[in-house]
Amino acid sequence: EAAVTQSPRNKVTVTGGNVTLSCRQTNSHNYMYWYRQDTGHGLRLIHYSYGAGNLQIGDVPDGYKATRTTQEDFFLLLELASPSQTSLYFCASSGGNYAEQFFGPGTRLTVL
């Protein structure tokens, strides 16, 4: 059974729209991450968290908010979506002694 799940898997919205991407992990990991993947840019870290209620800013945070409500759940919020946020979004979790991360299947977001 998948340990990191994301919903929705696909989302289309309009410029200025409000979008929430959800991620749940059942790995009992403390760390969770949100990335975006774009051609020519690889994976870029948006926000991450090391526990419920904690939020850390990543490398490309502008235009994004995030909230970690429980150890299992991490949400990415786009309050005024723009076409530049059209991308493939991945969530991941990490725990244990090493930096290995386990990824969800991705959410493809299109902002028209």
According to the binding rule CB under 8 A, does residue 43 interact with other proteins? yes
According to the binding rule CB under 8 A, does residue 105 interact with other proteins? yes
Tell me: cis bond preceding 8? Omega within 30 of 0 counts.
yes
What minimum distance in Å lies between the beta carbon of 92 and other proteins? 8
Dist CA 24 CA 81 (whole Å): 22
According to the binding rule CB under 8 A, does residue 60 interact with other proteins? no
Locate 93 and state its tokens: 């979790």
According to the binding rule CB under 8 A, does residue 104 interact with other proteins? yes
At 28 the three-state DSSP class reads coil
Q: Judged by CB, which is closer to other proteins: 14, or 57?
A: 57
Query: How many residues in the chain?
Result: 112
- Choose which of 17, 52, 103, 110 interacts with other proteins (CB under 8 A): 103
Dist CA 26 CA 17 (whole Å): 30
According to the binding rule CB under 8 A, does residue 75 interact with other proteins? no
At 85 the three-state DSSP class reads helix
According to the binding rule CB under 8 A, does residue 52 interact with other proteins? no
Question: How many chain residues are in contact with other proteins, going by CB under 8 A?
Answer: 23
